[in-house]
Structure 1
Amino acid sequence: MALDSNPENSSEKAAPRLPVPSRNPLPLSASQEAQVRDIFYARVRSRCSDEIKAFAECAMGRTFTAGFFCREPKRLMNSCMKLHATPEEQDGAREEWFAKRLERQREKERKARRKIEQEKFLREWWGLPEKDRELARREMEKLNMKERIGGFASERRVRIEEDDQGSKRR
């Protein structure tokens, strides 16, 4: 999958993107880090697609003998992936993840609104009572919340503070 850098040749409209907060933004949650890793792996695989295809073609129809017969394509594939799996590439994947926050937020809102509409239709169709107003209000409030970046400390966490002298107290 080659990305076209010329905006005139791009077939789809460029989605608005939010800027990256900083070069090393706040720590992300585990699921957000997994999304960044997925982008990173996809970028590396796209750069080494020829080597991956060559190894896959060699290994096709083989079982444990693939390690012996396909040693050279495997070595080429692994060396390519090591070459492109750099911290700079990981930073690029993180920047891409941050740049697409707005797009993900709109998609999430669209899905949530669609779910609410469908649930309302089904309740109406089957003659079920309306949803509790407080519950519906909380769902709409949750829908309007922005995506969290960085975590919040637990309310029950014991906080350790330091004095001016450097001694710690609770």
Structure 2
Amino acid sequence: MASTSTSPDTSATSPSPKKYNLRNPLPLSASQEQEVKQMYHKRVRARCAPEIKAFAECAVNRTVTATWVCRQQRLAMNACMITHANNREEEDRAREEWFATHEERRRAKEEELKRVEKRRAEVITMMRQDEERRRQEGQGK
């Protein structure tokens, strides 16, 4: 009996490390995953900034010809982007950054909603005052 009670306990504790990943403690919604991807791609672009800048400078005032005239810069930029975009560690860092700044973003969003509500109340007050003024002008005629 004691062996059967210990086996469920060990099975109950063994799935939990598999279930909870420290780098990703919560399942993210699609929009949250999109935010993580945006942070990830921003980090990749930052790492490849010199290559991107070189290609952009070469491609200025060119349209179709940029493909072969700036081939060397384009290949260097693509190689850099592929190297860093296939790096799982970079994606994990972006995910960690997202979790670290989650509370800050939530607070900023709440403050923005408060400002919007305050402004909405101001606009409603101004509209009511304007209506009252127009009504008084109409009665005075």
Q: Decide: shared fold, TM above 0.5.
A: yes
Between the aligned partners of 1:62 and 1:37, the Cα distance in structure 2 is 30
- Please show how residues 19-168 of structure 1 align to structure 2 within 5 Å: 22-85=22-85, 86-127=87-128
Between the aligned partners of 2:47 and 2:89, the Cα distance in structure 1 is 14
Counterpart of 2:74, as a letter, is K
Runs of 4+ in 1 over 4 A off after TM superposition: none
Q: CA deviation at 1:68?
A: 1.0
Larger radius of gyration: 2
Aligned-residue CA RMSD (Å)? 1.6
Counterpart of 1:78, as a letter, is N
Between the aligned partners of 2:23 and 2:45, the Cα distance in structure 1 is 24
Give 5+ residue unaligned stretches, structure 1.
Answer: 1-20, 129-170
Q: CA deviation at 1:26?
A: 2.5
Counterpart of 1:95, as a letter, is E
- Offset from partner CA, 1:16-54 (integer Å, 9 cap, x none): xxxxx8223322111111111111111011111101111
- Aligned length in residues: 108
Q: CA deviation at 1:64?
A: 1.3
Between the aligned partners of 2:42 and 2:29, the Cα distance in structure 1 is 20
TM-score, normalization by structure 2: 0.70
Greater helix proportion: 2
SS of alignment partner, residue 68 of structure 2: helix
SS of alignment partner, residue 127 of structure 1: helix
Q: CA deviation at 1:126?
A: 2.5
Is the CA contact (8 Å cut-off) linking 2:23 and 2:95 kept in structure 1? no
TM-score, normalization by structure 1: 0.59
Percent sequence identity is 50
- Offset from partner CA, 1:83-109 (integer Å, 9 cap, x none): 212111011111111111111111111
Is the CA contact (8 Å cut-off) linking 2:24 and 2:96 kept in structure 1? no
Between the aligned partners of 1:122 and 1:69, the Cα distance in structure 2 is 55
Counterpart of 2:49, as a letter, is S
